[in-house]
Amino acid sequence: MGILGILLITIGVTMIVKPSILWILTESWKSNDGTEPSSLYKWSTRFGGIMITIAGIGSIIIYLL
């Protein structure tokens, strides 16, 4: 379970710092111009990254108890 927490934290921080990486991997092919993600996409991805990071931290805390 500790490894899962570390993985969640890594993914979450990546989503917070560079949401464009996730957009390139998952959504860029859906865009007509394919240049960059919208500001709403960046905001929602960062919010999701915060939630995933919190879940990862919670997972590590539970594992340690």
Return d(Cα 22, Cα 28) in angstroms, integer. 9
Return d(Cα 6, Cα 30) in angstroms, integer. 31
Ordered per-residue pLDDT tens for the chain, 65 residues:
789 999 999 999 999 999 999 888 888 788 777 688 889 999 999 999 999 999 999 999 999 98
Q: What is the domain count for the chain?
A: 1
Q: Which range of residues forms the domain containing residue 24?
A: 2-64
Return d(Cα 65, Cα 61) in angstroms, integer. 6
